[in-house]
Amino acid sequence: MYVVKSPLSDASLMTVSEALQGALVDLVDLALVAKQIHWNVVGPRFRSVHLQLDEVVDTARKYSDTVAERAAALGIPPDGRAATVAVGSGIGVTPEGWVDDTTAVGALVDALGAVIVRMRERVEATGEPDPVSQDIFIGITADLEKHHWMFQAENG
């Protein structure tokens, strides 16, 4: 059943659908990971890391909405349910309990790095079938790479 029909070919739509759904899952999980660490970070850099984590959460939430709405505009029903995110995310295990600031920063470097690698693959995959979605992935990747740089600089 199509509620919204895309102008893309079926083959292009399949590629773009996989890219958008994968990005949605990664972004929802990135927001959850950053918020989990945000609540549990401790240490001498608590305040700066705590606030920096919220910036990542804001970015991930903003782009998850952008990606989900792009999918819907193409007739692809976005799936951000917890079970879908848990199975499909490219982010590793998040530390539980209190997390010292150095470990927290390292965890975000790793999480951002994992998402960036997958976003760059999506940039490549969508260039031909849908430059509009590719443009979204380019913007996401640029912002995530900025966060990645800043977290790497935190631990020197």
- Give, for all 156 residues of the chain, the pLDDT tens digit: 567 888 899 999 999 999 999 999 999 999 999 999 999 999 999 999 999 999 999 999 999 999 999 999 999 999 999 999 999 999 999 999 999 999 999 999 999 999 999 999 999 999 999 999 999 999 999 999 999 999 999 988
Are 95 and 107 in contact by the 8 Å Cβ rule? The answer is yes
The phi and psi torsions of 81 (rounded to 5 degrees) equal: -65, 150
Give the ranges where 74-130 is alpha helix by DSSP (H).
82-88, 101-126
For residue 42, give the DSSP letter.
E
Helix (H) or strand (E) holding 129: none
Helix (H) or strand (E) holding 12: helix 10-40
